[in-house]
Amino acid sequence: MPEANAETVATSPEAVASGLAASRYLADESLSTAIFLAIRLGKPLLLEGAPGVGKTEAAKAIAELLGRELVRLQCYEGIDAAHALYEWNYQRQLLAIRHAGDHEIDIYDDRFLIARPLLQVLNAPEERVLLVDEIDRSDHEFEALLLEFLSDFQISIPERGTIRATAQPIVILTSNRTRELAEALRRRCVYHWITYPDAAREAEIIMLRAGDVAEATARAVAAAVQSIRARPLAKPPGIAEVVEWANAATILEKGGSPWPEAFRRAIGVLIKDEEDLSYIAPELSRIVEEALA
């Protein structure tokens, strides 16, 4: 029974953490606890945090951990039921009506139904994990729709009747907190606020994710980024950018630039805002030297 499968994978927060590490995702204790609780309590997991702290990556790693396919629903303003639940393929229905001529034809057959992410997950809750990404971008109407879906896990299609999930699907929601989510939604979920990792963990992440970066380089990059994030930047660098920076600097170093110089020249992949660049430029060599020391 696949539900038992989820429970055998998630026997304890530590088991979850090591499982995630096998999918190249390093979760700290509180994140792995939250994931463990979400799976075992059968509740959706709501991850909030600044852009670039690895919310979507976490969802991908969870899907991999459970050996399920990830179905992603990217939210945006104006997203509605036709994009999230289901849609009829009207063009095919029309063609079928034409072709049928005098025959009886069921135009509400499965082949005319386009399943959108929420319906896809309902159809195979034990093989799929639903990721509702950046829910803060959608509007209140969609949040209400989602709330209904998350509480009952059923969809009513007027022509077909109600479709219910045969088991509790695993759902992950992410939000950048650009707006406050409805209290009801937070209440229904297991909640976790992801922060930037500390220097030691970030160094581990760089080692794991980057191609071939020496351990000393990874440590230096992590230390430098900690100090860069402490400054009032418009867009603090996310984890993906940090990994890129370590990669880029290593490549430049192999091409013949000495160390502090390689970091300085690769800064474009770390900081992608003109104002931030000019703000950080004068201090950069000092930051890098301190980190290398």
Using CB under 8 A as the criterion, which residues of the chain lie in contact with another protein when the complex forms? Answer: 13, 29-30, 33-34, 36-38, 40-43, 46, 48, 50-51, 76-78, 80, 82, 87-88, 90-91, 93-94, 97-98, 107, 139, 141, 168, 176-180, 183, 186-193, 232, 234, 275
Instruction: Point out which residues pair with 74 in neighbouring strands.
Output: 133
Does the CA dihedral 43-49-53-56 come out positive or negative? positive
CB of residue 181 to another protein, shortest distance in Å: 10
Buried b (16+ CB within 10 A) or exposed e, 101-131: eeeeeebeeeebeebbbbbbbbebbbebbbb
Residue 76 or 290 with smaller CB distance to another protein? 76
**Minimum distance between the CB of residue 233 and another protein, rounded to whole angstroms?**
9
Nearer to another protein, 87 or 126 (CB): 87
φ, ψ for residue 273, nearest 5 deg:
-135, 125
Give the DSSP H or E segment for 72: strand 69-74
Q: In the bound complex, what is the minimum distance in angstroms from residue 191's beta carbon to another protein?
A: 3
Our CB check for another protein shows the closer of 117 and 236 to be 236
The nearer residue to another protein, 165 or 240, going by C-beta atoms, is: 165
Can you tell me whether residue 148 is helix, strand or coil? Answer: helix
Closest CA to 220 of 179, 186, 262: 262
CB of 33 to another protein, least distance (A): 4
Nearer to another protein by C-beta: 48 or 253? 48
Tell me which DSSP letter residue 53 carries. S
